[in-house]
Amino acid sequence: MSTHVETHSTWQRQAHGMLVIIKKNALLYYLKPPVLIFGILFPVFFFLAFKMGRPIAATNVVPGMIAMALWFTASAVGPLVTPWERQARTYERLISTPLSLSSIILGDIGSGLIFGGCLSIVPIIIGLAFTDAAVTALGLLVLGIVLGALSFATLGVLLAAPPAASPSNIMLLSNLVRLPLLFVSGVFLPIAEMPGWAQWVAPISPLSYAGDLIRAGFGQAPYFPLWLSPVMLIVFTAALIAGAHKFHRRWRAKGL
């Protein structure tokens, strides 16, 4: 009985700690310049570069715009937090608190999830207000945004693991990963219309599945079977969490 109570209390404490980490990250990192540049300005300029002067129906662009915004925003917070804390000399105290590494990692993932999920509302409102796009399957749209934000945020936290001299090195690394995946994920061009090699590569990107669900939410034909996308996003998230755990544990004391 006492063991059960202790375990329950430990779980409660860790869950509470995770929420404290989310709050700390929101206070400290949501408005940091790298998050604003790579999380908000990047997708806006990518969208403008893609859309301006091209004869593409606006309704077709909206799901891709939302998926791209979600990709950048949800994965922008994670790569900043740990490198910033290392550089600011606050990381050692954080990892010597009675919080498990899992709680810290899940807290960082939660920060990206909330940031990405909340900001994805902006392109949805713009799309609904200024184009003929309409949500026909709200459940699929929400599923795509939530699972997408979760896996993208986890990718961001995994990318934060390597010890780096400065946060900008990790932001560069994260863009080296995010940008190529962006172009093979059917955001700008439906996967079915992409070259053969790109269609082979598309399934290795979580963005492909999240984008597909969002597209289905707007009544467009999905490329993957509808059941496959949520499953793949959950598999991606689980694998990325395992990787984040492994590498954050391995490198936690490096560069302190």
By beta-carbon proximity to other proteins, the closer residue of 105 and 216 is 105
**What is the residue whose two structure tokens read 């804390």?**
85
Using the contact rule CB under 8 A, the part of the chain among 21-29, 60-68, 178-186, 208-216 near other proteins is: 21-29
Among 7, 8, 11, 16, binds other proteins (CB under 8 A): 16
* Residue 193 binds other proteins (CB under 8 A): no
CA atoms of 63 and 83, how far apart (whole Å): 32
Going by C-alpha positions, the residue among 69, 95, 31, 96 that lies closest to residue 187 is 69
* Residue 245 binds other proteins (CB under 8 A): no
Which distant-in-sequence residues (6+ apart) come within 8 Å of 120 by Cβ? 66, 69, 70, 73, 145, 149
DSSP-assigned letters across all residues of 149-203: HHHHHHHHHHHT-S--SSHHHHHHHHHHHHHHHHHTTTSSS-GGGS-HHHHHHGG
Using the contact rule CB under 8 A, the part of the chain among 55-63, 89-97, 115-123, 205-213 near other proteins is: 89-97
By beta-carbon proximity to other proteins, the closer residue of 9 and 136 is 9
* Residue 17 binds other proteins (CB under 8 A): yes
Cα four-point dihedral sign 165, 168, 171, 173: negative
Using the contact rule CB under 8 A, the part of the chain among 63-71, 156-164, 194-202, 248-256 near other proteins is: 248-256
User: What binding mask, one character per residue, do residues 94-123 give for other proteins by CB under 8 A, x or -?
Assistant: xxxxxxx-----------------------
Q: How does DSSP classify residue 204?
A: G
By beta-carbon proximity to other proteins, the closer residue of 51 and 245 is 245
Q: Which amino acid is at 215?
A: R
Residue ranges binding other proteins (CB under 8 A):
10, 13, 16-17, 20-21, 23-24, 27-28, 88-90, 92-100, 252-253, 256
